[in-house]
Amino acid sequence: MNKVPSGALFPLILLFCIIGVYTVSANVWDIVIMLMVGALGYGMRKLACEPMPLVLAYVLGRMAEESIRQTLLLSRGSAAIFLSRPIAAAFLGTARAVVLLPIVAPPFRAGHREARQSRGGVGAPGRPTQGDPPWR
């Protein structure tokens, strides 16, 4: 379908990206940043990391920081304002659970799996359950 050889396509794409970045800002440092972000994306792809959370944090980070700063200014520096409303407390609790669950859950999972296997019931060796990963 594509008749352009990939050996020629990559340098052309890189050239057009460099021209575009320089045209917008006329700053060489922006080209360096573009190349570093491209190298970071390439490394993330090689390590099978998902790049979308990083892009989302980059896009939303500044707005979130400004909102937090405004909220702290309105509350005269008191962080208790983040817990004064139920919905805010629920979001903070959910965020805390999302961060801490991968740290806390593996020991419990391992103990639960060993208990199932020692009983010889569902989840015993050779008897995978529906929720078990295929590599088990």
Digit-coded pLDDT (tens) for 15-26: 898 899 889 988
Q: What is residue 1's predicted lDDT score, i.e. its pLDDT?
A: 59
Give a yes or no: residue 134 inside a domain: no
Give burial (CB, 10 Å; 0-12/13-18/19+) of 97. Answer: exposed
Q: What is the pTM of this model?
A: 0.46
Averaged over 115-134, what is the pLDDT?
A: 57
Enclosing domain of residue 38: 1-52
Give a yes or no: residue 58 inside a domain: no
Give a yes or no: residue 34 inside a domain: yes
Range of lowest pLDDT (73-82, 84-93, 123-132): 123-132
Give a yes or no: residue 66 inside a domain: no
Give a yes or no: residue 70 inside a domain: no
> Are 2 and 46 within one domain?
yes
Number of domains in the chain: 2
31-70 burial, b at 16+ Cβ within 10 Å, e below that, comes to: beebeeeeeeeeeeeeeeeeeeeeeeeeeeeeeeeeeeee
The CA-based dihedral angle spanning residues 126, 127, 129, 132, taken in that order and rounded to the nearest 10 degrees: -10
* pLDDT tops 70 at residue 42: yes
> Are 47 and 83 within one domain?
no
